[in-house]
A and B are shown apart, each in its own frame.
Chain A
Amino acid sequence: DAGVIQSPRHEVTEMGQEVTLRCKPISGHNSLFWYRQTMMRGLELLIYFNNNVPIDDSGMPEDRFSAKMPNASFSTLKIQPSEPRDSAVYFCASSRGGQGNQPQHFGDGTRLSIL
């Protein structure tokens, strides 16, 4: 089975630009999670989808961040406009169902640098 696939692996862009991060969950998984990891704040859950529907977006830092899941095999996290403080590693994870006995499987992450 292919794991969770994220792209790009690295992104460097200038402040004010739009950034789009992409995620393909594991086939058959119907829960998808976006996380942000920084040294200062550790791992933070940004948003959680179940069956393509956003269930909890309380972790999204502000209106500049938006996430979509148009179908079961694709999700995007968009930042517009980007700011230097958005620099972090962004992870996507998926799991089978919303049950705790099904662990989350993480992608390799996107390292985002905003100059």
Chain B
Amino acid sequence: AQTVTQSQPEMSVQEAETVTLSCTYDTSENNYYLFWYKQPPSRQMILVIRQEAYKQQNATENRFSVNFQKAAKSFSLKISDSQLGDTAMYFCAFLGTSGTYKYIFGTGTRLKVLA
């Protein structure tokens, strides 16, 4: 069974600094998708970035980028130039392609950006 682990329950970062949130997963599949979602206090679940396992190039969306290490089954999120609005829970999610469409979510990392 697939599992997703986020080992950092809470993190903080100074405004304008860079922070990296870690995510590891376990799967026997070769092709799959990985996502980072952001949940601010307003409780919306907002898609931040996604990565397809067959793509070697790391995904980037403005200040957000990932470090995808397929062999190590690692999918970390880097937030550059952190802003107060980045304060939120961040969830890593795995989606396999072998007939199931269930997201497997990690337990989340609560990120606080400090002024």
Contacts and interface: CB of A to CB of B under 8 A. Distances in A.
Contacts, number: 49
A98 B43 contact: no
A106 B101 contact: no
Given A100-B33, A100-B97, A45 B103 contact: yes
B33 A101 contact: yes
Size band of the A side of the interface?
A: 20 to 34
B89 to A, nearest CB: 10
Contact of B43 (A31, A33, A55, A89): A89
Interface stretch (B15-23, B44-52, B80-88): B44-52
Contacts of A101: 33, 50, 52
Given A42-B107, A48-B101, 11 more contacts: A43-B103, A48-B102, A56-B100, A89-B43, A91-B45, A95-B101, A98-B101, A100-B95, A105-B47, A109-B43, A109-B44
Interface of A: 31, 33, 42-43, 45, 48, 50, 55-56, 89, 91, 93, 95, 98, 100-101, 103-106, 108-109, 111
Question: Which 5 pairs from chain A and chain B are nearest by CB?
Answer: A106-B45, A100-B33, A100-B95, A43-B105, A98-B101
